[in-house]
Chains A and B, each alone.
Chain A
Amino acid sequence: MRVAEAWRVALDALRANRLRSALTMLGVIIGVASVVLLVAIGTGTKQKVEQQVEGLGSNLLLVVPGKIEVGTAPVVSPLTLKDVDAVSRVVGDPQRVAVTVASGATARAGARSDFTTVQGVLETTPAVFTRSLARGRYLTGTDVDTSRRVAVLGDSVARALFPDRDPLGQQVTLAGVRFRVIGVFAPLGQSLGVDRDDEVHVPVTAAQRLWGTQRVDGIAVKAPDRERIDELGERIVAELNRRHPDTEFSAVTQQQILGVLGDILGVLTGVLTAIAGISLLVGGVGVSNIMLVSVRERTREIGLRKAVGARPRDIGVQFLLEAVLLTTIGGLTGMALGVGTALLVDALSPIPAAITWWSLALAFGVSAAVGIVFGVVPAQRAGRLDPVVALRAE
């Protein structure tokens, strides 16, 4: 009964001061909306990154010299094709092993040119990385063995050099050496802000000759089964360490890459959300302020209620409910605004955004908590008012 009265009175108080209530809610609305939006963008980005890393192919193991850690300098690779053969023996199936030796180079065709990444690879690349061709064929074992000057173009490169011609069979000049186009990749799109179609694949042997090197930058292995992928990585690293005692090697799985990326994104999202949370806090201070005003305005009413039998707690609950109503109504509105903005951002901009139920539950919970935290002082003050003093208030 008493709680029902407190609800009625709290709602009535908000209704009696519509504009003031709305302005007070605005602080909470903005805070909650930005929290919901930022969490949605963080979640969306993470999901997209995960998709893309998964899209590299399943059970992938990347073997590179040096440590994979944020802030460590890249190491000059001591790896050669002999090491690749050794790794193939460890894996037991050469078809599961891919390599890369990459460098930036200018590709020319006639009057057109495009700066791109030239990758020297084995014929196994499409199988290991799950890549498919739009046209033509990929490199063969023979192409690699004979270091034939043939090239497979990424979609972007093909468009840049041959906007109005079929590139198949055409000549491209890479770092001054002529190659024949034998295939064009199906487009992959962007990944982490990188155009994955901006590359040219040539036989690793041809690339090494092009740059006058024996080195291989990294080795990728498609593990036969997911369960033993870590063990396989350890065996490969052990073999490479045996062959190159002076260099450290790392074998990372997709899961580890995801973990590192996820950590980075998590920190970013956390920082942004904390900033949004501060605006929610500021909104809470506004609520506290307006509740103190409300208590002052209604001091005589408080005195009268006490005179007719309201206990301190009845009065306190009434004002606490008023504060909580302010913040939860503001919170719900903010949630709606945040969700709406997130959906718009996702649909109309390249930034991905994904709504999660927990972020909504959190936003609602936090806004209710803000109401309690910032309403409790004014409510206590109201509850403790001396009835005689309150009745005499102006």
Chain B
Amino acid sequence: MTGPPPAIEAVDVSRTYQLDGVSVEALRGVSLTVRPGDHVALVGPSGSGKSTLMHLLGGLDRPSGGRLVIGGRDVSVLSPPEMATLRNETIGFVFQAFHLLPRTSAVENVALPLVYRGVSARQRRERAAAMLGRVGLGHRLDHRPNQMSGGEQQRVAIARALVTEPTVLLADEPTGNLDSVTGAAVLELLEQLNAESGVALVMVTHDQEVAARAQRRITMRDGVVVADSDAPHDRPLSVDHGRPETLVPAPSAEPRSVSGSGPGHPSGGSGGAAGATGRLPHRPAPADATPTPASGRGADDADAVTNGGSGS
């Protein structure tokens, strides 16, 4: 194996939820590797386990089985505070629901991850302001979320995800709450940042056109990966073939084509089942297929165990 070490490596990970005594197998043996600079689209029907996988990849949750290594660290040996630090240092999240703090200015929202990194107030503001500039909101520093449009709010959230200079940006349906024009602009921004800064982008999308622009597309169904392909070649892989050797990116992040170029037909050429689901256009505020987000998981809660010793 050559090339840089993987940013995230999942080997045969599973995730089982306990719901009123019934086991729900949201993930059943998923293997995949995210390398620095990757541009991955994660597609699949509702309930196929995309969000569950994203939570695992971001260290928000722990697998019930299998091996998960984030930023070179095996999460099974990390305490909750160590997981928090790992998230802070290596992962940036962009949520469908933005999740900005209310009554808090854009620049302070963006600076939030730096607070937990111990950066001084002045530096936080400087870096957050610079990041807001990069997402085109240099003129909205002191606006509060309720004073901004949805697209602007999501840009603030993107700036917040990137202000720590993470290696991976995880975006779960980042345009799900936006209209198509605004959504397209946000996607363009994400793709541009991925191309420019070399941060790996893993994005859940229901838009085949968007998925087709990705360098690589992973299709899920019923908790397993049914296809993992390069977008240009659109070549389905066997389920357990988690490391396509063709995917080693060029060491220097030279501009990948951001426009929806080449063979990725809008109709979505991916064969079989994956294509069928992708045809759903923008789902306006999708009703989550999750029955109850209530936690019935007891002991393996990601942060359930407080580790008194670590951290300062």
Q: Mark A246-268, 1 if CB is under 8 A from B, else 0.
A: 00000000000000000000000
Any chain B CB within 8 A of the CB of A386?
yes
Q: Are B99 and A386 in contact (CB under 8 A)?
A: no
Closest chain-A Cβ to B293's Cβ sits at a distance in Å of 4
**Contact between B60 and A307 (Cβ–Cβ < 8 Å)?**
yes
Cβ of B118 and Cβ of A393 under 8 Å apart?
Answer: no
Interface stretch, picked from A51-59, A111-119, A311-319, is A311-319
Q: Is A384 an interface residue (CB 8 A)?
A: yes
Report if A387 contacts B (CB, 8 A). Answer: yes
Q: In angstroms, how far is the closest chain B Cβ from the Cβ of A390?
A: 9
Q: Which of A300, A309, A383 contacts B88 (CB 8 A)?
A: A309
CA distance A389 to B300 in the complex (A): 13
Bound-complex Cα distance A7 to B290 (A): 36
CA distance A383 to B305 in the complex (A): 10
Expressed in whole angstroms, the Cα–Cα distance for A303 and B84 within the complex equals: 11
Of B95, B120, B288, the contact of A1 (CB 8 Å cutoff): B120
**A305:B112 contact, CB within 8 angstroms:** yes
Q: Is the CB of B118 within 8 A of A311?
A: no
* Residue in A16, A312, A385 whose CB lies within 8 Å of B84: A312
A85 vs B223: C-alpha distance in the bound complex, in angstroms?
110
- A12-B103, A384-B304, A393-B293 known; A313+B81 contact, CB < 8 A: yes
User: Which A residues between 1 and 25 are near B, CB-CB below 8 angstroms?
Assistant: 1-2, 4-5, 12, 16
Residues in B with CB closer than 8 Å to A308 are: 87-88, 93, 112-113, 116, 160, 164
Q: How far is the CA of A16 from the CA of B55 in the complex (A)?
A: 31
Chain B interface size, under 10 / 10 to 19 / 20 to 34 / 35 or more = 35 or more
B293 touches A389 (CB 8 A): yes
B274 to chain A, nearest CB (A): 25
Complex Cα distance A53/B34, Å?
A: 87
> Which residues on the B side are within 8 Å of A109 (C-beta)?
none
B63 contacts A by Cβ under 8 Å: no
Residues facing A in B101-137 (CB within 8 A) are 101, 103, 112-113, 115-121
Contact B88 A388 (CB under 8 A): no
Complex Cα spacing A180 to B139, Å:
102
Q: What per-residue 1/0 map shows which CB atoms of A269-313 lie under 8 Å from chain B?
A: 000000000000000000000000000000011011111111111
Find out whether the CB atom of B160 lies under 8 angstroms from the CB atom of A387: no
- Say whether, besides A307-B58, A308-B87, A311-B84, A386 and B117 are in contact (CB < 8 Å): no
Q: Is the CB of A387 within 8 A of B303?
A: yes
Contacting residues, chain B, for A305 (C-beta < 8 A): 112, 116
Interface string of B48-78 (1 = CB under 8 A from A): 0000000100101100000000000000000
The size class of the interface chain A forms with chain B is 20 to 34
The verdict on A1 contacting B306 (CB below 8 Å), with A306-B84, A307-B58 known, is no
Cα A16 to Cα B95 with chains together (Å): 25
| Complexed CA–CA distance, A314 and B297 (Å) | 23
- Chain B residues with CB below 8 A from A306, complex form: 60, 84, 87, 303
Contacts of B302 in A (CB 8 A): 386-388
Q: Which A residues from 98 to 124 make CB contacts under 8 A with B? A: none
Most buried by B among A1, A307, A387: A307
Whole-angstrom CA separation of A19 from B302 in the bound complex:
36
A391 on interface, CB distance cutoff 8 Å: yes
Which residues on B sit within 8 Å (CB–CB) of A380? 306
Q: How far is the CA of A391 from the CA of B234 in the complex (A)?
A: 34
Which residues of the partner chain A approach B84 to less than 8 Å between Cβ atoms? 306, 309-312, 314
Q: A308-B113, A312-B80 are in contact. Are A386 and B118 (CB under 8 A)?
A: no
Contact between B55 and A313 (Cβ–Cβ < 8 Å)?
A: no
CB distance from B275 to the nearest CB of A (A): 29
Shortest CB distance A378–B (Å)? 15
B164 cross-chain contacts in A, Cβ below 8 A: 308-309
Check if A311 sits within 8 Å of B116, measured CB to CB.
yes
Question: For B58, what are the chain A residues with a Cβ–Cβ distance below 8 Å?
Answer: 307
> When the two chains form their complex, are residues A391 and B85 in contact, meaning their CB atoms are under 8 A apart?
no
CA distance A161 to B303 in the complex (A): 86
Task: Name 10 interchain pairs, CB-CB below 8 A, sorted by A.
Answer: A5-B115, A305-B116, A306-B87, A307-B93, A308-B164, A309-B113, A310-B116, A314-B84, A386-B304, A387-B60
A interface residues, Cβ below 8 angstroms from B: 1-2, 4-5, 12, 16, 300-301, 303-314, 380, 383-389, 391-393
Sample of 19 more A-B contacts, CB < 8 Å, known A309-B85, A311-B80, A388-B55: A12-B103, A306-B84, A308-B112, A308-B164, A309-B116, A310-B84, A311-B84, A311-B85, A311-B116, A383-B306, A384-B301, A384-B303, A386-B295, A387-B60, A388-B60, A389-B295, A391-B60, A392-B288, A392-B293
